[in-house]
C-alpha cells in the first residue's frame, strides 16, 4: 500500500536517471536519499531513504539505574536533547508515582518554549532557507528569481523588505541580514533556555521529580527581558515566510504537489498543565488533553483520537526493510497496561532489539531504521504517520481539537490564534494559522515560524504564572520518591521536529527495557512489512520537479526542500545502521558551488 | 630627537624570517560522522565570544583566512558537492587543513563480514559506504592539526559506555596517544558533552594563531586538554563551593547549597563551566542547580553512575569537613548577624552620637 495517490496520465516515455545525495547537508546526523528521476515527465519515480549511523541506546541502557535514563537519553540528540530528558522524566515520573511541584512544571515548560524558539529559528533561517535563498534560486530557477525581483513583498511594512528577492538575499548563508540575525536570535533564545535548564543542549538541572533550577525572581526577569527583545523578530519571521511561500505557489503553479502526501499526522502533545497533570497512566487521557499543545492523530483531515491511551496502545514497531530479527516469539515484558488493556508484542514496551547486519539492497533490506506505525482500529491500516516536521502536526492537532484557550492562544476548531504583545518596533499582533489545504513541503515549512510565535506566546503565560508562585512564596521545585522494584512508565512529548515517546520497564530497580521513539524513525522509516514506504520516501516519490536544470547539471533542490521540510535529524534514529550496500549506478551526483565549503 | 615609531612601523612585517612562518589560508575539515549526536556542532553555533560567523567572515584580526567545511552549516546541497574538499584533501590537493572530528570512533575490527558502524559518503568506485575509520586513516597523516570536539571524540563518551555494541573509543585511543600532526601537534582534545561553546572556539582560535605564526602551540595537559580551560576543578569555580567549606549540604534539589550529597562530582572534575557559565556567562551546572556528572572526564559516564547518588569518595571528605565547617559556619553566622545591623549612632534623638570631631587628627 502506498500512501501517495495516483497522478494524471499524460506521460512521455520515461527518461530515468539514478540520483543520490549522501550525506545530506544542513541537517544533524547521517542521511542519504537515493532516487530514480524521470526527466521526461519531470517527476521522481522512486525514493529510498537510508542512514549509516548506529547508536544502540536501547542496547546499552539495559541494567542501568533508571534515574540515569534522562541524563543518558539526552545524548541521543545534539539539538533537542532536552526534549529527551523531559520525555524520560515524564516516563520515570509515571513509573515512580511522583508528581513534581507546579513551579517545576513551569520551569520545564519555559525551557521547552525556549528550545522550540531556538531550534525552529536556526533550522528555518540558517538551514532550510538556504534552499530558498537568492544564490540557490539563481542556480536552480533563474526565471523565478527574475520574477521575485519584480514582485513586491505584500507584508513589507512588517518585515522591511521591498521585494521577494530582497528577502531571498537576506537569507544568503553567512552574509544575508536575516541569516546573521537568526544566528544571533538563536543565541538569545538559547540563553533563555540556559536560565531554566542550565545548559544547552544537554540540560543540567532537570531531574525525575522536578528541577534543580533556583526559582529566584531573577531567572524569570532575565528570561522575560530576552523574550521581549526577540518578539518583533518572531512577528517579522512569520510575515517574511508567508510572503516567500505565497510567492512560490504563485510563481510555480503546481508547487503544492512538491512533498505532498495524504494528511497522516501525529502529535503527542507538549507543555503540561501543572494544575491537571499527575503522571498516572489511569488519568492520562485527562491530563493529556489539558496539555497546551493538544495531542492527536489526523487522517485525511479528520481527528481520529486525542486520547493518549489510544495513541499509546496503537503504537506498532514494524520490520520489513530493516536488518533485525523479529522479537514476536520472545516473552513479552508487558502483557497489559495499567488499565487492563492488552499490549501488543510489537509495542515499544515489548520490543527486543536483535540486529542482523547484512548488505544494503533497496529491493529488500536497506536500513537499520525500523518502521514505527500506528494501527488505525477503524480500518486495520498500519499508518505511516509523519510529524509534519513538528509544527504542522502540532498546530493542526491543536486547531482541530479546539481545547486550548488561554490569554495568548486560542484554538478555534479550524485555526489557532496567537497574540503577541507590543515589541520594540511593532505593535501588539494577533497571528492566525489556518488549517491548510495540503500536507506538503511549503506548509510544513510555513507552520514552523507560526509555532515559534506559539511558543513565545505560551512562554509569556508560563512566566506570569511562575512569577506569581514565586512571589507567593511557592518555590518548591523537586519532590522526592523511591524507585520501585518493578514498574512501567511511558512519556509522551514533542521533540522539536515531532512526536517523542519513551517506554520504560523496571525490574529489580534496574532498566529491563527502554525504547525511545523520536520523530525521525517515524519520518525516515523504510518500507514496512506491508510495503508501505516511510514518509520521506512517500513524500519525495511521485513529486514533480520544478528545477530548470536538466539531468547534467541537476541540483535536486525540490527534493532537498521536501526532505528538509520534515526537519530531518538523524541522531535520533537510534537503531540506524546500514550494512555494506550493493553497487548503485550513480550517473550524477548533483553539485552546487563545490568551492562553497 | 625623533623615533621611528609610527603606525606604519608597527604594522610592518617582522624582519626575522623565524618570526613570520605563518599560514595565510587554512581549511577546517570537520567530520561529525563519529558516533555522536552532533551536539558539538550545534553547541559551536552558540559561541558568541567569538562567533562562528566572525571567524568565517575574517573578523578576528591576525588569523589566517578560514574555509570552514561542516555538514550542518554547509550551503551545499550535499553528496559529492559537499564531499569535494574532503576528497581533494585525501588526494593531497588541498592544504593545509585542520581536521576536526566529532563523535567517538567505533572499532571496525570487531565486525565480522561486510558491516560497518558509521560512514561518510560512498566510495565513488563501488558505491559502497565509506567508513569514518577510512577517512581518519586517510586524513590524519596529512592534517596540519587534529582537533577532537567533545567528549565522544576525546575519550569515547556515552557510546563507549559499558554494554555498548560498537567498541567505541576516543580519537587519541584510535590514532595513538603519541600521534603528531604535520605541525608537530598531538591531538588537541576539547572535552565536554557537549563542548562548552566558547571553550571550543577559544582553543580553535589558539590553534589558528599558532598557524598564523603568532602564538606557540596551545599548552595541553597529560590528557591533551587545554590547560587554561581544564586545569581547575568544577568545585574551584563553583559559587556553591563555600557551602561545602561550611559543611552545609543540600539534602535534595530544592536547595541552593552544595550538591555533593545529591550526586555532584564537582570537587574532582576538571571543568571550568561553573566559572565561565554555559554561554555568555549564563547557565552552568552546580552553580545553577545541576549536579556535575563529570561529562568532560575520560571516565564519563560509567565512573560517575548512578548520577543521582552521593559520589563514593565524597562521603569521607564531606564527613571530615563537618566539625571544621560547623564551627566556621557558626562563627560566620555571628559575624553575619553583626554586619546585618545598622550602627547604633543612626537615630533621630537630639544628641549627635556618630563620634564627630571637627578637630580630629591622627
Q: What is the tens place of the pLDDT at every residue in A265-274?
A: 999 999 999 9
Ranges of H-type helices in A274-371? 284-289, 308-313
HSE at residue A527, side-chain half, CA atoms within 13 A, is: 18
Q: Which residues of A are less than 8 Å from B82 in CB distance?
A: 23, 25
Which whole-number Å values give the CA distances from A49 to A39, A76, A539, B86, in the listed order? 20, 20, 11, 23
Closest to A64 measured CA to CA, from A572, A479, A505, A503: A505
Averaged pLDDT score across all residues of chain A: 91
Q: What is the pLDDT of residue A5?
A: 54
B-interface mutation test, from A19, A29, A71, most B Cβ less than 10 A away = A71
B-chain residues near A580 (CB < 8 A)? 113-116, 128-129
Q: How close B360 gets to chain A, by Cα (Å)? A: 46
Looking at CA atoms only, how far is residue A190 from chain B in angstroms? 8
Give residue for cell 565486525.
Answer: B111
Q: How confident is the model at residue A310 (pLDDT cuts 50, 70, 90)?
A: very high
Q: Enter the C-alpha cell of residue A474.
A: 511557592
Does the beta-carbon distance from A198 to B119 stay under 8 Å? no
Q: Which residues between 19 and 38 in chain A have a beta carbon less than 8 angstroms from any beta carbon of chain B?
A: 20-30, 32
pLDDT digits (tens, 9 = 90+) for A398-420: 999 999 999 999 999 999 999 99
Q: Is A515 one of the annotated binding-site residues?
A: no
Residue to mutate among A24, A49, A59, A78, with most B CBs inside 10 A, is: A78
CB contact under 8 A, A581 and B127: yes
Is the distance from CB of A570 to CB of A26 less than 8 angstroms?
no
Is A30 within 8 Å of B33 when comparing Cβ atoms? yes
Residue A571 pLDDT: 55
Conformation bin of residue A163: beta by default, left when phi > 0, alpha when psi is -120 to 50: beta
Residue A61: closest CA among chain B residues belongs to which residue?
Answer: B163
Q: Measure the CA–CA gap between B144 and B25, rounded to whole angstroms.
A: 12
Chain B residue closest in CA terms to A215: B254
A189: cis peptide before it, omega within 30°?
A: no
| Position A48 pLDDT exceeds 70 | yes
Q: Chain A: residue nearest B259 by CA? A: A212
- pLDDT tier at A8, thresholds 50, 70, 90: low
Instruction: Please confirm whether the linkage preceding A23 is cis (ω < 30° from 0).
Output: yes
The whole-number average pLDDT for the span A189-199 is: 98
> Would you place residue A29 in the very low, low, confident or very high pLDDT band (cuts 50, 70, 90)?
low
Q: Does A421 touch chain B (CB under 8 A)?
A: no
pLDDT for residue A526 is more than 60: yes
Which residues of chain B have a CB within 8 Å of the CB of A51? none
Residues of B in contact with A85 (CB under 8 A): none
pLDDT of residue A570: 60
The minimal CB distance from B68 to the residues A126, A210, A597 is found for A597
Q: Distance between CA atoms of B15 and A227, rounded to whole angstroms?
A: 53
Please give the pLDDT value at position A582: 25
Test A79 with B69 for CB contact under 8 angstroms.
no
The pLDDT value recorded for residue A186 is 93
CB-based contact B72 A198, cutoff 8 Å: no
Whether residue A561 is predicted with pLDDT greater than 50 in this model: the reply is yes
Residue A502 has pLDDT above 80, yes or no: yes
Q: Assess A529–B contact: CB distance below 8 Å, yes or no.
A: no
Point out the residue among B163, B279, B289 whose CB comes nearest to the CB of A212. Answer: B289
Q: What integer pLDDT is reported at residue B73 of this predicted model? A: 80
Weakest mean pLDDT among A91-105, A275-289, B197-211, B308-322: B308-322
Task: Tally the C-alpha atoms within 13 A of residue B321's C-alpha that lie toward its C-beta.
Answer: 17
What is the reported pLDDT for A503? 98
Range A15-40 average pLDDT: 83
Residues in chain B: 362
Q: What is the pLDDT of residue A201?
A: 93
pLDDT at A587: 38
Distance from CA of B274 to the nearest CA of A (A): 10
User: How confident is the model at residue A6, as a pLDDT?
Assistant: 56
Say if the Cβ atoms of A21 and B164 lie within 8 Å: no
Residue A114 CB partners (closer than 8 Å, separation 6+): A189, A190, A192, A193, A196, A223, A455, A459
Work out the angle at residue A415's Cα, subtended by the Cα atoms of residues A412 and A421, and round it to the nearest 5 degrees: 90
A596 belongs to an annotated ligand binding site: no
Q: Is the pLDDT of residue A170 over 90?
A: yes
Q: What is the pLDDT of residue B339?
A: 80
**Number of residue pairs across A and B with CB atoms under 8 Å?**
307
A367 has a pLDDT exceeding 90: no
DSSP label of A478:
B
Is A572 annotated in a binding site? The answer is yes
The pLDDT assigned to A466 comes to 98
The ranges of chain B with pLDDT < 70 are: 1-20
- In order of B107, B131, B132, the CA distances from A359 in angstroms are 19, 15, 18
Q: Which of B42, B51, B164 sits opposite A201 (nearest CB)?
A: B42
What pLDDT does B2 receive?
A: 40
Q: What is the mean pLDDT of residues A162-187?
A: 93
Enumerate the residues of chain B whose CB falls inside 8 A of the CB of residue A571: 36-38
Q: Which long-range contacts (CB under 8 A, 24 or more apart) does A165-171 make?
A: A165/A134, A167/A240, A167/A243, A167/A244, A168/A132, A168/A133, A168/A134, A168/A137, A168/A244, A169/A133, A169/A134, A171/A125, A171/A129, A171/A130, A171/A132, A171/A133, A171/A134
CB-CB under 8 Å, A28 with B41: yes
CB contact under 8 A, B39 and A202: yes
A162 touches chain B (CB under 8 A): no
Mean pLDDT over residues A580-596, rounded?
34
Mutate to test the interface with B, among A81, A101, A141, A190 (most CBs of B within 10 A): A190
Whether A127 and chain B come into contact, CB under 8 Å, resolves to yes
CB contact under 8 A, B289 and A28: no
Give CB contacts under 8 A, 24+ apart, made by B123-128: B124/B80, B124/B87, B126/A583, B127/A581, B127/A582, B127/A583, B127/A584, B127/A585, B127/A586, B128/A580, B128/A581, B128/A583
Give the pLDDT band (50/70/90) at residue A198: very high
Which whole number is the average pLDDT over A349-362?
Answer: 82
| CB-CB neighbors (< 8 A) of A28 in chain B | 37-38, 41-42, 72
Contact B74 A597 (CB under 8 A): yes
For residues A20 and A286, the model is more confident at A286
Q: Residue A597 pLDDT more than 70?
A: no
Amino acid at each position: 500500500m502506498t500512501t501517495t495517490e495516483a497522478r494524471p496520465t499524460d506521460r512521455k516515455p520515461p527518461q530515468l536517471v539514478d540520483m543520490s545525495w549522501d550525506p545530506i547537508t544542513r541537517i544533524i546526523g547521517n542521511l542519504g536519499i537515493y532516487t530514480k528521476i524521470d526527466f521526461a515527465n519531470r517527476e521522481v519515480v522512486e525514493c529510498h531513504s537510508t542512514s549509516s549511523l548506529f547508536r544502540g541506546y536501547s542496547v546499552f541502557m539495559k541494567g542501568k539505574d533508571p534515574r540515569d535514563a534522562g541524563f543518558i537519553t539526552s545524548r541521543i540528540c545534539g539539538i533537542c536533547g532536552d526534549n529527551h530528558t523531559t520525555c524520560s522524566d515524564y516516563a520515570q515520573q509515571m513509573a515512580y508515582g511522583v508528581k513534581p511541584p507546579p513551579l517545576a512544571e513551569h520551569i520545564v515548560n519555559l525551557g521547552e518554549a525556549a528550545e522550540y524558539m531556538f531550534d525552529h529559528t536556526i533550522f528555518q533561517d540558517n538551514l532550510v532557507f538556504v534552499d530558498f535563498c537568492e544564490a540557490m534560486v539563481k542556480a536552480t530557477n533563474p526565471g523565478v528569481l527574475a520574477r521575485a525581483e519584480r514582485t513586491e513583498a505584500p507584508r513589507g511594512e512588517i518585515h522591511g523588505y521591498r521585494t521577494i528577492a530582497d528577502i531571498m538575499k537576506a537569507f544568503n548563508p553567512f552574509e544575508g541580514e536575516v541569516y546573521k540575525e537568526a544566528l544571533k536570535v538563536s543565541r538569545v533564545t538559547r540563553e533563555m533556555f540556559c536560565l531554566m535548564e542550565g545548559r544547552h543542549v544537554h540540560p543540567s538541572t532537570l531531574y525525575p521529580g522536578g528541577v534543580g533550577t533556583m526559582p529566584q525572581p531573577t531567572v524569570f526577569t532575565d528570561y522575560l527581558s530576552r523574550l521581549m527583545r526577540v518578539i518583533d523578530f518572531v512577528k517579522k519571521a512569520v510575515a517574511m515566510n508567508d510572503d516567500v511561500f505565497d510567492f512560490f505557489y504563485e510563481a510555480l503553479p503546481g508547487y503544492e504537489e512538491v512533498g505532498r502526501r495524504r494528511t497522516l499526522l501525529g502529535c503527542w502533545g507538549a507543555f503540561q498543565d501543572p494544575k491537571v497533570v499527575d503522571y498516572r497512566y489511569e488519568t492520562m487521557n485527562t491530563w493529556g488533553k489539558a496539555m497546551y499543545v493538544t495531542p492527536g492523530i489526523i487522517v485525511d483531515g479528520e481527528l481520529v483520537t486525542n486520547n493518549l491511551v489510544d495513541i499509546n496502545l496503537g503504537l506498532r514497531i514494524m520490520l520489513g526493510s530493516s536488518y533485525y530479527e523479529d522479537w514476536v516469539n520472545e516473552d513479552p515484558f508487558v502483557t497489559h497496561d495499567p488499565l487492563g488493556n492488552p499490549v501488543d508484542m510489537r509495542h515499544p514496551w515489548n520490543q527486543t532489539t536483535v540486529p542482523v547486519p547484512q548488505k544494503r539492497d533497496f529491493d529488500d533490506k536497506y536500513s537499520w531504521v525500523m518502521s514505527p506505525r500506528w494501527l488505525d482500529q477503524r480500518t486495520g491500516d498500519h499508518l505511516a504517520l509523519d510529524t509534519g516536521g513538528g509544527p504542522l502536526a502540532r498546530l493542526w492537532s491543536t486547531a482541530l481539537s479546539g481545547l486550548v484557550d488561554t490569554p495568548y492562544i486560542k484554538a478555534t476548531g479550524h485555526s489557532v490564534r496567537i497574540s503577541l504583545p507590543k515589541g520594540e518596533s511593532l505593535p501588539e499582533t494577533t497571528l492566525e494559522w489556518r488549517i491548510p489545504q495540503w500536507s506538503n513541503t511549503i506548509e510544513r515549512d510555513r507552520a514552523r515560524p507560526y509555532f515559534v510565535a506559539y511558543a513565545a506566546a505560551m512562554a509569556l503565560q508560563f512566566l506570569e504564572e511562575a512569577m506569581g508562585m514565586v512571589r507567593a512564596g511557592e518555590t518548591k521545585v523537586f519532590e522526592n520518591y523511591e524507585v520501585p522494584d518493578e514498574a512501567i512508565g511511558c512519556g509522551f512529548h514533542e521533540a522539536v521536529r515531532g512526536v517523542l515517546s519513551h517506554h520504560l520497564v523496571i525490574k529489580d530497580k534496574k532498566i529491563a527495557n527502554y525504547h525511545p521513539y523520536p520523530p525521525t524513525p517515524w519520518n525516515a522509516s523504510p518500507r514496512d512489512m506491508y510495503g508501505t514506504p516511510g514518509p520521506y520516501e512517500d513524500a519525495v516519490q511521485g513529486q514533480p520537479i520544478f528545477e530548470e536544470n536538466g539531468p547534467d547539471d541537476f541540483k535536486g533542490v525540490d527534493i532537498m526542500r521536501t526532505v528538509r521540510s520534515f526537519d530531518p535529524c538523524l541522531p535520533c534514529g537510534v537503531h540506524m545502521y546500514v550494512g555494506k550496500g550493493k553497487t548503485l549506478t550513480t550517473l550524477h551526483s548533483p553539485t552546487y558551488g563545490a568551492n562553497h565549503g | 630627537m625623533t623615533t621611528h615609531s609610527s603606525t606604519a612601523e608597527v604594522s610592518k612585517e617582522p624582519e626575522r624570517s623565524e618570526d613570520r612562518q605563518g599560514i595565510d589560508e587554512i581549511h577546517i575539515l570537520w567530520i561529525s560522522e563519529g558516533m555522536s549526536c552532533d551536539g558539538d556542532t550545534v553547541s559551536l553555533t552558540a559561541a558568541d565570544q567569538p562567533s562562528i560567523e566572525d571567524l568565517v567572515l575574517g573578523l578576528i584580526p591576525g588569523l589566517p583566512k578560514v574555509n570552514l567545511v561542516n555538514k550542518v552549516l554547509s550551503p551545499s546541497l550535499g553528496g559529492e558537492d559537499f564531499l569535494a574538499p574532503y576528497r581533494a584533501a585525501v588526494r593531497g590537493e588541498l592544504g593545509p587543513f585542520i581536521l576536526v572530528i566529532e563523535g567517538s570512533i567505533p572499532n571496525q575490527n570487531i565486525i565480522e563480514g561486510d558491516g560497518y558502524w558509521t560512514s561518510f559518503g560512498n566510495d565513488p568506485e563501488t558505491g559502497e559506504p565509506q567508513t569514518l575509520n577510512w577517512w581518519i586513516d586517510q586524513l590524519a597523516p596529512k592534517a596540519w592539526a587534529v582537533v577532537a570536539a567533545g567528549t565522544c571524540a576525546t575519550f569515547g563518551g556515552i557510546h563507549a559506555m559499558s554494554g555498548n555494541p560498537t567498541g567505541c573509543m576516543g580519537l587519541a585511543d584510535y590514532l595513538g596517544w603519541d600521534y603528531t600532526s604535520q605541525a608537530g601537534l598531538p591531538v588537541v582534545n576539547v572535552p565536554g558533552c557537549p563542548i562548552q561553546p566558547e571553550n571550543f572556539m577559544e582553543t580553535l582560535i589558539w590553534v589558528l594563531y599558532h598557524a598564523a605564526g603568532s602564538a606557540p602551540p596551545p599548552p595541553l595537559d597529560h590528557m591533551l586538554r587545554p590547560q587554561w580551560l581544564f586545569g581547575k576543578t568544577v568545585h574551584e569555580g563553583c559559587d556553591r563551593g563555600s557551602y561545602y567549606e561550611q559543611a552545609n549540604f543540600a539534602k535534595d534539589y530544592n536547595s541552593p547549597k552544595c550538591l555533593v550529597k545529591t550526586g555532584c562530582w564537582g570537587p574532582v572534575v576538571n571543568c571550568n563551566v561553573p566559572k565561565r557559565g554555559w554561554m555568555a556567562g549564563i547557565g552552568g551546572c552546580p552553580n545553577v542547580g545541576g549536579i556535575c556528572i563529570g561529562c568532560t572526564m575520560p571516565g564519563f559516564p560509567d565512573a560517575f553512575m548512578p548520577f543521582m547518588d552521593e559520589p563514593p569518595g565524597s562521603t569521607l571528605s564531606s564527613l571530615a569537613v563537618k566539625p571544621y565547617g560547623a564551627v566556621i559556619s557558626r562563627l560566620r553566622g555571628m559575624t553575619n548577624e553583626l554586619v546585618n545591623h545598622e550602627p547604633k549612632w543612626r537615630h533621630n534623638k537630639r544628641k549627635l552620637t556618630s563620634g564627630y570631631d571637627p578637630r580630629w587628627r591622627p
